[in-house]
Structure 1
């Protein structure tokens, strides 16, 4: 029986081909041999990097000659009117970020996969770029992996295929690329890729995974151009919804730093990812305005180790996180791809959330402070019945610190726990909403946490209500936005996160309200 071999397969977009799909600074060598087994009209590039000693050789003072060799190849394969790219080794990094269909591997996998035989999932929460990988020791259904289709994007799936595809490949892994193993000889690979493209173009996944349609990738080039123009305008106006993020799971057990390039060299390095640092890099290079979205493809965020060696590099475009609304439709940009959020689902969110928004508040006055703790102190100082518990802790001894709230008072014969957050940035709001739920759950489950809250408040009028668990939660969001649209003024994934929090609090019989606090501070200067 022929040996099974692994293939990583990409599908180029219609406007790309072997002449324009590789990065301008690629170091691949065109193979010009004759009499090979390469399919007709295919093109192969080789990666033949000279060996270099591993860093630990000199670190430990080893004199023996040691070299790390990296070999790889990349093949452009014409299949009817499309171009398939087969990559071996790490040559896939030589493809331009925007040259291939990001949904090719995942959609093909969803169409080919037996929904009861999933082995592993990688998911992304676009609201905060949180990534998670879950593996099952046995083949399982999607329910095992506890994926919330209304707030997660499935980035990668691995599992066994349906019976009708077993003759092609038995197992499949899909992300941007398709990873399969095949024992077919070289002359049959083109036909295999042709059948894979046919699987990609099917819609079988809608029946097997119906809820996945809540969030779908945007494929129309004209719509993408329109969205990119919106992105350019947003970069100019600097809304809080536009942020940068590392678009890949990183190993945070090792130290790394951030450096920008593409517009010239810089000596500045950063320990975290902020769009303000990219803007500072542009200012250093005397770039005051960007009018072409392609600039974001040519500028890069590099991940470097403590010695300054590059670990990975991503285009700035691929690092953007952004929500916007055009013609009544909501779009989300993450990892270089635009997604359309189902309109009916948006309506469902608004109907569920808007009743919890309040138009006025007794003592949450407009904000004149740069920091949340300063604002919280101002509210306490202006209201004798309000106690500030910002940065206090009610967690059980030995566990991670959990704040009870930022401000606390008695309202309508309940302990009102008030949580304050500046800005409507999605990741920040996710933390705010989770804080409200975590605090309530702790106070309901742990007697020690109740006693700690009583001690922090130090007011007998609170004790009986705390003991009885009579709580309510208020989220105060400090923003300059026109808040008449209520929940629609929050980023889409913040609305999803808020709905999860509201539903949890409802199950605990905890009233919840959301109030927009007007922000008098110009935060773009920061």
Structure 2
């Protein structure tokens, strides 16, 4: 049957260069049940077509329908059709999938950024209709946003410091003949009018688009942080992590993957040392109990970090999901966080460090955080107890848990934990909370400062709270004429030395701190950071 030009919508993947010489069948998943069909020689390209061997099945809900009418309904059936065409052009292999054909492939054989990068190279950056994002927060969030008309990325609220772009759709830029472009991870999709004989040229064009750097003009920020997804890369990174665990690498940090109520925490323990309850998460204690000869990634996934609360309830997280570890490889830094590996551009990392260097250490000398042993258990001073003690020691106002009504936030908020007569708003958090707790600390300070500056009603309510604490304190926050330059925001991290507090921050906490610093500095606030080391309680 002669082919004629038709509009077709194609889904395409690009094989990695390591598989240039592989047989076509090697690109399929091990469990793919397919029939191979030869490509007609007249088309003039080297390729193979694989069709899934499918069979009709009654849908799961068919039995319910049968019950409703009292007999088996013959017309009900499900049948999915899937196919994949593999084409080799100048030694490079591309896959064109049809139906659910992508599930026939061994995805590890294909470039994981081909779909997204090619889309960004071929899209008009002002024509975006939808974006899929993975936001690196205390609890990582996945979200999809759609616009009623073509728009720039800024319309979708993209945060270039924390958002990983996963997929995008839009219209082509000038000079690109495709229609309805979309790309995410390994798959690039587009429509065009074509003949079968044009597939080799289409493949060559796709390869050319993928190799372009055009996307850097409008989407350069996507290279800042990328989630590693292909199994081969993850396996290699996991092996490096395993070597670090076996070598008890001091840079490994075990932290919590979520926020908890710290005042209710009694202590932490690990799978092989459950009786040894510690007031903080002691990574060394986990590593010391690992047998280098038998440890594996699977055993790390099975191992647990246990949290025991003051009511003796116990909760556990997989150690693999709790590990924070940074791995340098040439110009790329890889980070494992929350059970996922991320690839971070070196220049982006350098920019974060440069901004971090601008943040000064606080001039306030904070007392250490007390630790002691009680009933054969190690304990550490709670944030509440520390704040109360330091308020008396430094002669500042205690505002911990003193909530101020605010119409611009979902619930009442704290102005700060401690307030000095010099208008220093001090926000306090234990380092034992890891990246999640620290990011929460920085966000808390940012929201408080922004609302105080911009909301007169909030300042009025804050003055009521301050008056109840100390009548003199009320005038520290004027109801009118507030000047941000008069205020200093201090982030105090308990359990870390003042001199090394910035250096010891996890990467994503550095990102959040620098973002908050830039935001508040632009509003005129002074922003500083401080640490308070642990010290043994007198007589303990």
- How many angstroms does 1:356 deviate by? 2.6
Flag the 1:330–1:7 CA change in 2: closer, same or farther, 3 A. Answer: same
1:44 corresponds in structure 2 to: 50
2:515 corresponds in structure 1 to: 500
2:315 corresponds in structure 1 to: none
1:8 corresponds in structure 2 to: 11
Give the number of aligned pairs: 457
For 1:14-93, list aligned pairs within 5 A. 14-16=17-19, 18-24=24-30, 26=31, 28-32=32-36, 40-46=46-52, 48=54, 50-54=56-60, 58=64, 62-63=68-69, 65=73, 69-80=78-89, 81-93=91-103
What TM-score, normalized by structure 1, do the two folds share?
Answer: 0.70
1:119 corresponds in structure 2 to: 129
Secondary structure (helix, strand or coil) at the match of 1:121 reads: strand
2:173 corresponds in structure 1 to: 162
2:267 corresponds in structure 1 to: none
Secondary structure (helix, strand or coil) at the match of 2:490 reads: strand
CA RMSD of aligned residues (A): 4.7
For residues 162 and 447 of structure 1, the distance between their equivalents in structure 2, rounded to whole angstroms, comes to 47
Quick check: 2:419–2:425 contact (8 Å CA) kept in 1? Answer: yes
1:171 equivalenced with 2:173 (yes/no): no
1:374 equivalenced with 2:389 (yes/no): no
For residues 236 and 439 of structure 2, the distance between their equivalents in structure 1, rounded to whole angstroms, comes to 28
For 1:12-411, list aligned pairs within 5 A. 12-16=15-19, 18-24=24-30, 26=31, 28-32=32-36, 40-46=46-52, 48=54, 50-54=56-60, 58=64, 62-63=68-69, 65=73, 69-80=78-89, 81-93=91-103, 95-96=105-106, 98-126=108-136, 128=138, 129-166=140-177, 169-176=178-185, 177-215=187-225, 227-233=237-243, 239-240=252-253, 289-290=295-296, 323-325=326-328, 330-332=333-335, 338-343=342-347, 345-358=348-361, 361-366=364-369, 368=371, 374-381=382-389, 383-384=391-392, 385=395, 389-396=399-406, 400-404=410-414, 407-411=417-421
1:472 corresponds in structure 2 to: 488
In structure 2, stretches of 5+ residues that fail to align are 259-282, 303-318, 373-377
Flag the 1:82–1:383 CA change in 2: closer, same or farther, 3 A. Answer: same
- How many angstroms does 1:196 deviate by? 0.8
1:450 corresponds in structure 2 to: 459
Secondary structure (helix, strand or coil) at the match of 1:98 reads: helix
Flag the 1:319–1:379 CA change in 2: closer, same or farther, 3 A. Answer: closer
In structure 1, stretches of 5+ residues that fail to align are 246-275, 300-315, 522-526
Flag the 1:428–1:447 CA change in 2: closer, same or farther, 3 A. Answer: same
Flag the 1:235–1:244 CA change in 2: closer, same or farther, 3 A. Answer: farther
Quick check: 1:368–1:375 contact (8 Å CA) kept in 2? Answer: no
Range with bigger deviation, 117-126 or 226-235: 226-235
Flag the 1:130–1:437 CA change in 2: closer, same or farther, 3 A. Answer: same
TM-superposition CA deviations, 1:71-107 (whole Å, max 9, x none):
1424151323233233334453454453321110111
- How many angstroms does 1:515 deviate by? 1.8
- How many angstroms does 1:60 deviate by? 12
TM-superposition CA deviations, 1:15-34 (whole Å, max 9, x none):
4555554444x3x3211456
Flag the 1:427–1:20 CA change in 2: closer, same or farther, 3 A. Answer: farther
Secondary structure (helix, strand or coil) at the match of 2:111 reads: coil
- How many angstroms does 1:486 deviate by? 4.9
Range with bigger deviation, 334-343 or 488-497: 334-343
1:306 corresponds in structure 2 to: none
TM-superposition CA deviations, 1:371-401 (whole Å, max 9, x none):
9992322331454245655555324369512
